Chain A
Amino acid sequence: MKRWLHVACDAILPPLVLLVLVAAVWQWAVVRWDVRPIVLPGPGLVLEALYRRAGDLLRSVIFSGTAAMLGFFISLVAGTLIAFVFSQSRWLRTSGYPYALFLQTVPIVAIAPLIVHWCGRGWHSIVMTAGILSLFPFIANGTAGLLGVDPDLLDLFRIHNASRWQVLWKLRLPSAVPAICSGAKTSCGLAVVGSIVGEYFVGYGSKSFGLGYMILFAVDQLRMAELFAAVLASTALTVIMFGVVSLATTAILTRWYDAPEAQGDP
């Protein structure tokens, strides 16, 4: 327990001290040069907006977070399946990889309207945008993990006359788990970005809305303190997503390599 406290202090205290320092300098600068809140609200105003809109912000975080999580899981399944296909044939890989790369290089703001056009103005379009933006790390890491198997292990399977399916199921897939976990850490942040950007293009007619809508609304109404509050909430959501995915991947990898009591080898 004491060790955990020590680790927590080491990890949390320094950035917290920096945050307080930056906020202090920010507040001082706003007062010193009499900056108008419409240009840059002070940290006090931002805190006040955070408190005032706490309910809406929490609902938005849940809305955007759920869309991001769903998009993340869709990309996990789709990306791993595509990586499977790529790992099976060099021809398939060289044919398909440029198009997978396209998903990574094309700006999401360019394809989000297309997704909304095809899928309609609804929550599923937001999920789809989050899914597409977070897909590539799973494809890239999954393919690298499935192909980057120790050649001696491949020889071992050949010596025992293993089938292609056995090599895939008992060797390539388990070998790729660390790489897929690493891809998950990159993808979760992208999924949050995708869900917020998706909202920009979906628009709203219902009571449900997320962080993207809150940001757009705050900009339109020139409510800068609320904009900052929404941006802080978006950052918090990304940190939470990353934290959850990191904990999950650490738990998976620890169980994968260390746990002596673990049973049921694949």
Chain B
Amino acid sequence: MTSEPLLPLIAADRVTMQFASGPMVLREVSFSVKGGEFVSLLGPSGCGKSTLLRLIAGLLAPTSGRLTVADEPPSEARRERSRVAFVFQDPTLLPWRTVTGNIRLPFELKGILTDDALARVNAVLDLVGLNAADAKKRPRQLSGGMRMRVSLARALVTDPNLLLLDEPFAALDDVLRQQLNEELVRLWQRSGWTAVFVTHNVSEAVFLSQRVLVMTSRPGTVLADVPVPFAYPRTSDLRGTAEFARLTAMLSQRLREAMS
């Protein structure tokens, strides 16, 4: 992979978000993410984590404050230099397309259907652990975990330099979730994209990230910025260590504070 790890630098300065005639969702959120970093946004349900991710993707515009990706407004950055990819909570696959058809969609939308692009589709299939037989199936014929792998493959196919993940494994069982977390860490290490991962699962946030931003209940704001000191590569053994348990306990305590 040929990412440019230092390009997307996310900077949020007192970002506030309020939908028309609705309650305030985010209040003066400030944080930054360096290029190549893996950061998790941890917070209770409804605290505005997903809204913040959509602001970073340029799908929404903040009511006030300043948010930039690579020194540009997110919607501009998305259109120009940065390759932004988004993994949704649901796999959001096109049910009428095969797995291959879904994965190559970003290339089609960009008008790039070269041999290299198609080779990349096959490569990324392999990368997320799908085989040639799976490639011809439709989403309805796949398990929940496989659908999420396809969703991840579609996000990775364009070799993004900023990957935004909105609770992608929330609907999966615990064993599968842990397995996909390990694969995600492996993929991140290989490619070096910047990752912002939204979750309300403390253990997941600690296992994956270099830093965890704990958010308060609505209106959401950043309560704590907690570094995760564990070295990569991270394997399942990490979850059994005392340090991991201590950090998850501390973050759980912060999360309880965030909800009160």
Residues of A within 8 A of B (CB): 150, 152-153, 155-162, 166, 170-171, 174, 177, 256-262, 265-266
B109 contacts A258, C-beta separation under 8 Å: no
The reply to whether B78 and A161 contact each other, CB–CB distance below 8 Å, is: yes
Q: Does B84 contact A (CB under 8 A)?
A: yes
B73 contacts A by Cβ under 8 Å: no
| Residues in B42-64 with C-beta less than 8 Å from chain A | 54, 57-59
B190 at interface, CB cutoff 8 A: no
User: In whole Å, how far is A173's beta carbon from the nearest beta carbon of chain B?
Assistant: 10
Is A160 touching B59 in the complex (CB atoms < 8 A)? no
Identity of the chain B residue whose Cβ is nearest the Cβ of A253 in the assembled complex = B96
Q: Is the CB of A155 within 8 A of B59?
A: yes
**In the complex, which residue of chain A has the Cβ closest to the Cβ of B91?**
A152
Choice from A159, A162, A265, A266 contacting B57 with Cβ under 8 Å: A159
CB distance from B76 to the nearest CB of A (A): 11
Which B positions have Cβ atoms within 8 angstroms of A? 54, 57-59, 78-79, 84-86, 88-90, 92, 94-98, 101, 105-106, 108-110, 136-138, 140-141
B137 touches A156 (CB 8 A): no
Q: Which residues of A contact B141 (CB under 8 A)?
A: 258, 260
Selected contact of A153 from candidates B54, B84, B94, CB within 8 Å: B94
CA gap between A260 and B96 in the complex, in Å: 10
Shortest CB distance A260–B (Å): 5
Which 10 pairs, one residue from A and one from B, show the smallest C-beta to C-beta distance? A265-B101, A160-B109, A152-B92, A265-B97, A162-B109, A152-B88, A256-B96, A260-B136, A160-B106, A174-B96
B98 / chain A contacts, CB cutoff of 8 Å: 260, 262, 265
With contact pairs A257-B138, A261-B136 given, residues A159 and B78 touching in the complex (Cβ less than 8 Å):
yes
Whether the Cβ atoms of A174 and B94 lie closer than 8 Å is yes
A158 proximity list for chain B (CB < 8 A): 59
